Amino acid sequence: MGVNISGNASIRTYTDTHFYGRSWGVYIFTYLSLSAVGAPILGWINQNFSPRIAVIYGAVMALMMSLYVLIRFRPGRP
């Protein structure tokens, strides 16, 4: 639920009105496709190691991706 709320707020705030449809298409595509890729990986980690390791792995990957986006798309970067 929080992902949907923050995604909606970000798209409404930072996207020009002419690009709402396109930006929503990219957002939904990446959200759904990355869930389909990440779920089997986390399931395998959960089955072979432990649920705790799977949660830690998911949290680390989310943090790494957030840092990448923050650095890559920071304001003032050419």
pLDDT in tens, 30-47: 888 888 888 899 999 999
CA 25/CA 40 separation, integer angstroms: 24
For the chain, give the mean pLDDT.
86
* pLDDT on residue 69: 84
Considering only residues 15 and 57, tell me which one the structure prediction assigns the higher pLDDT.
Answer: 57
* pLDDT on residue 56: 94
Q: How confident is the model at residue 1 (pLDDT cuts 50, 70, 90)?
A: low
Task: Quote the pTM value.
Answer: 0.62
CA 36/CA 46 separation, integer angstroms: 16
Q: Are 62 and 42 in contact (CB under 8 A)?
A: no
CA 72/CA 64 separation, integer angstroms: 12
